[in-house]
Amino acid sequence: MAQFHLRFEAEDLAQSVMLVGNPQRAEQVSKLLQGARLVNDYRYLLVFTGMYDGERLSVATTGMGAPSTAIVVEELCNLGARVLLRVGSAGGVSPDVDAGDIVVATGSIRDDGTSPQYLPLSFPAVPDADLLRITMEAARDLVPTVKHGVVISSDAFYRNYDKDRMSLMVQSGVKAIEMESGCVFIVGQFRGVRTSALFAIDGSVTKDAIKPKGGEALFKQAEEQSIRIGLSALVRASRAGL
């Protein structure tokens, strides 16, 4: 049954779905799918379904931030999605993460207002173990230098952490900061679906070099690689019976 914001039927959606924040990224992914069909454009939450390497997959736009992401994840679950893999962008936090890198999230620090409405902050925001393993395998096959670790998922794009708090994050090995993974993990846990997330890095927060000059080409390459990793991971998950 069509949902409030995703106005299509269950048969229009694959059980394995890539989540992207940017609708232009959804269009980019759709060009890699065979027979891709646009099944939703309401509120510009673009959703495409097609085939990739013999498996039926969908890509869905979540928009920016946890509230919009939670709505889309809820409605995808209502429509039959069982595996959700977020492919997004993030800023590096760890000194060894720069523009052009790829980070797979092993967990998320929830600094958002939506996920606590589902589960308390004491509940860990982590990806599904099996899907995480498959995501790491797919990532290493394409980009052997892929990094992994805990990320921050924060609502306030324009409000930076103070120096002491960011130093604590760096000291603790946090890899990157973005806006949606904590919500994806928690809503997925609440709804009983498998989740995972990886990110193309567009610069460094701690080095005050977000979207640095000359870094756009590095980011675009990492974005394309991340998309292909995500598609490969979804295919592997489908074939593994996840």
Active-site residues: which are they? 202
Q: Residue 29 has which token pair?
A: 């992914």
- Measured distance CA(101)–CA(94) in Å, rounded: 12
Q: Is 190 exposed, middle or buried (0-12, 13-18, 19+ CB in 10 A)?
A: middle
Q: What are the start-end ranges of the H helices in the chain?
A: 23-30, 66-78, 129-142, 163-171, 181-191, 216-239
- β-bridge pairing 16-20 and 34-40: unpaired
Angle at 104 between CA 238 and CA 162, to 5 degrees: 145
3-state secondary structure of 224: helix
